[in-house]
Amino acid sequence: MRASPFKNLSLTLYNILTMRILPLSIFLVFISISTTQHPQTIQFDISKILNARPVSTLKNKHITKWATGIDGGGSGDGYLTLSAAIFNGDKAPHALPDNPVFATTGDHPEIKLHYANSDSLHNQTCNIKGADSVSFTVPQRRYKAVYLALTSSEGPSKLHIRLTYKTGSVVKDFTLPDYYDDIEPGNSILSYLAHDLAKWGNNNNMTEKDHHNIEVLKVETDSAQTLESISIVKEKAGYLVFWGASGVQIGIR
């Protein structure tokens, strides 16, 4: 029996439509995925305000000693990377990890600091003594929150964080505790970037074996506004070290 010409025509039309519609469906799914961005972390560039090297590093079996440290007005003590501490002969040291990228936790996103064993030259932090302020620009985005890695020594530091948007600015006030003090339970704006660190003196001699921290201050932002820059204004008391910052941008839905 010969096949009906109408049946053959129907199959032909079906094949043509399938060939055209299927790629179109795939394309539409791809567009949908591409234009739906989940919140993502952006590392902020603070290189223009870095002015100190408080971390001793190890390169080619040579330790480059810290300069302008974490307390004593910059002359007291510094940190070591783990490799530098082990090369220094310290046993089970509570040192900074060699990798300066600190992974996401339940309290903060990924934050990259500015020290590296491969770099024995460039500054690593922004240190603020007395009453002073620093500012830096950020990629112009809408953010859920920004996160600042900080330490305060010689007591707590009172900080005023100015968030400048396209439409104006707001100031938020915080008190950053001394880096020897542990974060009180239930504190929702402070978390540890590095916890229970040792510190080293002017000759890379360990002066205290533990109990020092680098903390992360969470600053919530207006997610409906485009953020342009951040300023850290410090009052006189305390000695502040600003290590790095990142922000969690709002995705496009």
Ordered DSSP codes for the chain = -PPPHHHHHHHHHHHHHHHHHHHHHHHHHHHHHHH-PPPEEEE---GGG--BB-EEEEETTEEE--BS-SSGGGTS-BEEBHHHHHHTT-SS---B-SS-EEPP-SS---EE-S--TT-SSS--BEEEESSEEEEEEEEEE-EEEEEEEEEEESS-EEEEEEEEETTEEEEEEEEEPBTTSPPPTT-SSEEEEEEEEEEE-TTS-EEEEEEEEEEEEEEE--TTS-EEEEEEEE-SSSEEEEEEEEEEEPPP-
User: Per-residue pLDDT for the chain (253 aa), expressed as one digit of tens each?
Assistant: 455 544 554 544 445 444 554 454 444 444 443 434 456 999 999 999 999 999 999 999 999 999 999 999 999 999 999 999 999 999 999 999 999 999 999 999 999 999 999 999 999 999 999 999 999 999 999 999 999 999 999 999 999 999 999 999 999 999 999 999 999 999 999 999 999 999 999 999 999 999 999 999 999 999 999 999 999 999 999 999 999 999 999 974 3
- Choices 2.60.120, 2.30.30, 1.20.140, 3.40.1000: CATH for 40-249: 2.60.120
pLDDT of 8 reads 53
φ, ψ (nearest 5 deg) of residue 8 = -60, -40
Output the pTM of the full model. 0.85
Residue 64, burial from CB neighbour count under 10 angstroms (0-12, 13-18, 19+): middle
Strand pairing class (101-102; 157-165): unpaired
Partners of residue 200 on adjacent β-strands: 78, 206
CB 43 within 8 A of CB 147: no
Strand pairing class (190-200; 206-220): antiparallel
**How is the chain split into domains, by residue range?**
1-36, 40-249
